[in-house]
Amino acid sequence: AQQRDALYSEAEAVYRRYWAEWIRLEQLPDPTLTPELEAVTAGDFQQRVVRLLAGAQGRPRLSGDPELAWIRRLPGLSRAGSVVALSSCTDASHVRFVNPDGEPTPGLTNEHRLYLSRDEGGSLRITDSEFRAVASC
């Protein structure tokens, strides 16, 4: 039980690092993959992050800060060899972004499933995810 708790604590710390860096990058007009994101992501998830950042070029967050409402453990859930899974809910419904037409648009509230795996060096990284829009956290 102690090893499991330690693994979930480590996974949550990795996700919180990812979240903090993502929030910082949303404010930039031209966000790109940073060493911090590289340190906490890998595989398919990192490739999705790169695509999302490319799609956010020229469309920064205008106002408000998205909120990380909660993080929960997902015992027994695995994907593509992951060693631990988490669920989180993020609320950006009160946040305003620039849309492709240059107009302000509201953010979304999303529930995420995050799958984390160990790399060759033993570091835990987010390697895959699923998300869906929800009405509220």
The residue to which tokens 């993959």 are assigned: 33
Task: Say whether pLDDT at 57 is over 90.
Answer: no
Q: What is the mean pLDDT of residues 7-31?
A: 95
| Run of H or E residues at 7 | helix 2-26
Cβ proximity of 68 and 88 under 8 Å: yes
pTM above the 0.85 mark? yes
The whole-angstrom separation of Cα 112 and Cα 87 is 5
State the average pLDDT for the chain: 93
